[in-house]
Amino acid sequence: MRRSLVLTGAAVTVLGLLAGCSSGDSSSDSGKTTLKVAALEGGYGRAMYTEVIKDYEASHPDIDVQLQISKSIEDEITPSMQAGNYPDVVVLGQGRKAGLTETLIKDEALEDLTPVLDEKVPGEDTTVGEKLTKGIVGNLNTNPYGNDQTYLMPMYYAPTGLFYNQGLFEENGWEVPTTWDEMFALGDEAEKQGIPLFTYPTAGYLDSYFYALLADIGGEQFYTDVMTYQQDVWETPNARRALDLTTRLLSYAAPETVGYANEQDFTKNQQLILDNEALFMPNGTWIVGEMADAPRADGFQWGLTPLPAVETGGSRYITTSVESVWIPKAAEHKDPAKDFIAYLYSDKAADIFAKSNAIQPIEGIADSLTGENAEFYQVYEDPSVSALVGGFASTAPVAGVDIKATLFDTANSIISGDTTEDEWQKSLNEASEKLRQAGD
């Protein structure tokens, strides 16, 4: 049986309330209730949503589900929301550059979904809460205000870590590094063959890298201290060690990385792994579907490893990416929306999602996985690796402060030489201190 996830939590201070309410009557001419669902089209594609909705409508003849799906869904629904016209259900996690989910969290503009945990899954005798993996609810990702109320339901979960070509390692007789010393030694060895050690799709993908690294270095307490802006946390030796390791790793980055690290060209950085032109990149299991049709080197086989341990035998964490589904507080059809969300955890829906590699945090689902997914999710079986779910605590907005951008995006400037490690550390501590003060 897969071990339950190790989750971290922290107190959150959120100020402000989004004004406005949903406008317009969303009932169709046939008398059906029209349920508006907005979803991000990520690496799992859109076909799975169409199939799930078709199945839901078949068992709910009084509901007409209208799907709006896009790779930039925030840009499409934000103007309508500002005009008071809200979707009823939104599938969109945190960590996106647009920050729409985070904005609504800060503005206390999400519907409380705690009751959904006690709802029976439509067509089944089990409640949603009983089906969910133990520990997947109750962290900052689902309970953003640090209390017992759940506002974001976990939709898909995936281990994120360093992805690489197993075939290339086998061909060269290389072992996957388990410590940073081994990682840099491999970087020197691969450099002799003209293969850079590291790349990333965009600097934003360093979120999973940094979360795990902070916990590897200082344990869950240090990780939580950073996420909750403890005073001068970025001036501590642990913080400096994280930046030292990262700065050294970035010195091994493929030269193309920064030029391709944008929304239009990021797949070109991912292609470097497929072409054996870089060894490792941070990513999630969705990469398999996202690059399914891309050309690749002979013998290519996806591999996933946690970050190397800081010391031999040291702790290793792996950041678990959790996508979210939520309901705007101003949605028009909240009760049907909650029923639809409960249905998303049905066995039928879970099977449909899994075919697109969108794995839900449902008890026992990992046991049914095959192929690459089965191998990826085995990482949770390793007793030396702990899973981490979470992220930075929300605070009142602070003008000009985006600590995620300061932490992640500065990597581009480190590689280019436009920013020094000392400047990076100073900027991080200044941003963290401003957010700490905003939370007091």
Question: pLDDT at position 141, please?
Answer: 86
Are 284 and 432 within one domain? Answer: yes
**pLDDT at residue 154 tops 60:** yes
Are 312 and 328 within one domain? Answer: no
Are 117 and 254 within one domain? Answer: no
- Final residue of a domain: which of 363, 383, 403? 383
pLDDT by residue (tens digit) across 212-247? 999 999 998 999 999 999 999 999 999 999 999 999
CATH number assigned to the domain comprising residue 85: 3.40.190.10
pLDDT by residue (tens digit) across 14-73? 323 233 344 444 555 668 999 999 999 988 889 999 999 999 999 999 999 999 999 999
Sign of CA dihedral 406, 408, 409, 411: positive
Are 212 and 311 within one domain? Answer: yes
Are 222 and 343 within one domain? Answer: no
Q: Is the pTM of this model over 0.85?
A: no
Are 176 and 245 within one domain? Answer: yes
Are 236 and 377 within one domain? Answer: no
Are 255 and 403 within one domain? Answer: yes
Is 286 within a domain?
yes
The range of the structural domain enclosing residue 206 comes to: 159-319+394-439
pLDDT by residue (tens digit) across 373-424? 888 988 887 888 988 887 888 777 789 999 999 999 999 999 999 999 999 9
Are 39 and 107 within one domain? Answer: yes
Is 410 within a domain?
yes
- Final residue of a domain: which of 383, 405, 431? 383
To the nearest 10°, the Cα dihedral for 298, 303, 309, 310? 50
Burial 235-263 (b: 16+ CB within 10 A, else e): ebebbebbbebbbebbebbbebbbebbee
Are 285 and 408 within one domain? Answer: yes
Is 23 within a domain?
no
Is 148 within a domain?
yes
pLDDT by residue (tens digit) across 330-365? 999 999 999 999 999 999 999 999 988 899 999 888
Is 25 within a domain?
no
| 389 close to 138: Cβ distance less than 8 angstroms | no
Are 344 and 355 within one domain? Answer: yes
Q: How much is the average pLDDT of 147-162?
A: 94
**Cα gap 272→256, rounded to integer Å:** 9
Is 27 within a domain?
no
Is 3 within a domain?
no
- Final residue of a domain: which of 383, 411, 429? 383
Number of domains forming the structure of the chain: 2
Q: Which residues contact 150 (CB under 8 A, 6 or more apart)?
A: 112, 113, 114, 116, 117, 137, 138, 142, 143
Residues β-bridged to residue 385? 316
Is 189 within a domain?
yes
Distances (CA, A) of 101 to 74, 77, 96, 337, 393: 9, 12, 8, 17, 13
Are 341 and 299 within one domain? Answer: no
Q: Which residues contact 309 (CB under 8 A, 6 or more apart)?
A: 178, 179, 180, 216, 315, 316
